[in-house]
Amino acid sequence: MKIKIVTPHADNARAWAAALGSDDSMSFDVSLDVQPLHQVNVLVNGSRPELVVVETTTPRDLAELQRLAGAHPELEYVLVGNDLTPEFLLGAMRVGVREVLPAPASAEAVRSAVTRLAHKRAPQAATPARRGEVVGFVSCKGGSGATFVAANVAHILAAGGQRSVALIDLNLQFGDAALFVTSTPPVSSVAEVARHIQRLDSELLRSAMAQVSPGLWVLAAPEDPGLATDVKPQHVHEILALARTMFDIVVVDLGRSISAVTLDALDASDRLYVVLQLTLPFIRDGRRLRDVFRTLDYPSRKVHWVVNRHQKSGDITLEDVKRTLDVEQLLIVPNQYEVVASSVNQGVPVDRLAPGSAVARALRELAAGIAPAPAKRSGGWLGGLLRASA
């Protein structure tokens, strides 16, 4: 595979080229251009690369990348940048860049991003790995109930062990998803897995997760908010890719921040559920998120909207929200303070604590939209009787 590295930093160019040259899983033909991107003609005379590793250091470079990627969507791009603001990331993703590394990027980070893209480009093996669905939950604003909904839906999807479900908390700074489904504090975390990413395999991932009920496994956020920065986009990428080979469904709590880490997970999600409430601040932020998703070209069937804590008496109606967000359908979870508070305080999912409650019913309906409830395995004496007579 032909690769071109474009960066104004000679040391980086050399280090990255050396790492790519020594990769033993693939053969790379690497050329270097030690200049800022806006001064380079990437596609000159026959040396047309298939993949470009580009380090942008100025807005001019980013504009040039935008132009290049717009004109040549057939190439793959790995972008190294030092300004990973949401605007920058969105700009990059909008033009089709799918691997973004924060500067300074180590040779190893560049090598693994390049091999990942190269593998994606290579023809798929005849027997694809089992592929579980990744379902992301996003909060429009703090306190919307995204974690409550995500954790409870994960529990329902596991259906008492009839499915295997992972609940992964990517709310890295103040994540608390585990405690919505168990009262036992988690022993390990996403940061712990990231720390050992070199030897990531299903055994390592499984050992960092806690089984909280039949079929439901949780990978918690780090207890120490300071460890959040140890988790890089490529770690999340690898964790999710592996998790979907191990579980039927991977539920991810993405919280409310747009960062390099969450953008990667948003992209990896097959479906997104955005949780909001019927008040203006939530709806305003909902509209912003909707614009972000449009910018990223997510098809509207990927994004689902959940109105949580719904009560009929509010000033703002569901029709208002549909109009503002320009969506046809909303999923509704009613406000039920006592049931939810005792579920959250005890770390027991509502479907177990109060299965007959309106909120449990709404969550089961939401889960059924992701995967239909499996038929009960043992239907009690009647089921047994019917089976016996069949």
Residues contributing to the site for ligand ATP (CB under 6 A): 139, 142-148, 171, 255-256, 308-309, 333, 335-337, 340-341, 344, 359
Alpha helices by DSSP H, listed for the chain, are 10-21, 59-71, 86-94, 107-121, 146-158, 190-195, 202-208, 233-246, 260-268, 280-295, 318-325, 337-346, 350-353, 358-370, 380-389
Choose among ligand ATP, Mg ion, none what residue 343 binds, the Cβ cut-off being 5 to 8 Å by kind: none
CA-based torsion, 371, 377, 379, 385: positive or negative: positive
* Closest separation in Å from C-beta 321 to Mg ion: 21
Nearer to Mg ion, 210 or 254 (CB): 254
Which of Mg ion, ligand ATP, none sits in contact with 164, Cβ below 5 to 8 A by type?
A: none
User: Cα(36)–Cα(29) distance, rounded to whole angstroms?
Assistant: 21
Q: What are phi and psi of 250, to 5 degrees?
A: -115, 110
Query: How near is the Cβ of 210 to Mg ion at its closest, in Å?
Result: 18
**277 part of the interface to Mg ion, by CB under 5 A:** no
Q: Which residue has the tokens 């999923």?
A: 331
Instruction: For 295-346, give the DSSP string.
Output: HTT--GGGEEEEEEEE-TT-SS-HHHHHHHHT-S--EEEE--HHHHHHHHHH
Residue 344 binding partner per list Mg ion, ligand ATP, none, with a CB distance cut-off of 5 to 8 Å that depends on partner kind: ligand ATP
Q: Measured at CB, which residue is nearest to Mg ion? A: 147
SS3 content of the chain, % helix, strand, coil (to 5): 45, 20, 35
Instruction: Tell me the closest approach of the beta carbon of residue 130 to Mg ion, in angstroms.
Output: 29
Pick between residue 134 and residue 179 the one whose CB is nearest to ligand ATP: 179
Q: Which is nearer to ligand ATP, 241 or 292 (CB)?
A: 292
Q: How many residues at the interface with Mg ion, by CB under 5 A?
A: 1
Work out what residue 341 binds among Mg ion, ligand ATP, none; the CB cut-off runs from 5 to 8 Å by kind.
Answer: ligand ATP
256 binds, among ligand ATP, Mg ion, none (CB under 5 to 8 A by kind): ligand ATP
- Judged by CB, which is closer to ligand ATP: 12, or 139? 139
266 contact, one of ligand ATP, Mg ion, none, CB 5-8 Å limit per kind? none
Nearer to ligand ATP, 134 or 177 (CB): 177
308 binds, among Mg ion, ligand ATP, none (CB under 5 to 8 A by kind): ligand ATP
Site for Mg ion in 137-166 (CB under 5 A): 147
Class of residue 80 by CB neighbours under 10 A (exposed 0-12, middle 13-18, buried 19+): buried
Compare residues 100 and 263 and give the one whose CB is closer to ligand ATP. 263
Closest contact distance (angstroms) between CB of 21 and Mg ion is 44
Choose from ligand ATP, Mg ion, none: what does 189 bind? Cβ within 5-8 Å by kind: none
56 binds, among Mg ion, ligand ATP, none (CB under 5 to 8 A by kind): none
Q: What is the dihedral of CA 98, 104, 105, 107, to 10 degrees?
A: 150
Task: Choose between 5 and 333: whose C-beta lies nearer to ligand ATP.
Answer: 333
Q: Radius of gyration of the chain from Cα atoms?
A: 23
Shortest distance, CB of residue 335 to Mg ion, whole angstroms? Answer: 17
In Å, what is the CA distance from 252 to each residue of 46, 230, 305, 356? Answer: 44, 18, 16, 26
Q: Which C-beta is closer to ligand ATP: that of 20 or that of 165?
A: 165
Least Å from the CB of residue 224 to ligand ATP: 17
d(CA 66, CA 367): 39
Strands 29-33 and 51-56: unpaired
> DSSP assignment, residue 187?
S
Residue placing its CB nearer to Mg ion in the complex, 169 or 264: 169
Q: Beta strands 216-219 and 165-169: pairing type?
A: parallel
In the complex, least distance from residue 275 CB atom to ligand ATP, rounded to whole angstroms: 6
Distance in angstroms (rounded) separating the CA atoms of residues 166 and 248: 8
Examine residue 262 and tell whether it contacts Mg ion (CB under 5 A).
no
Provide the binding-site residues for Mg ion, judged by CB under 5 A.
147
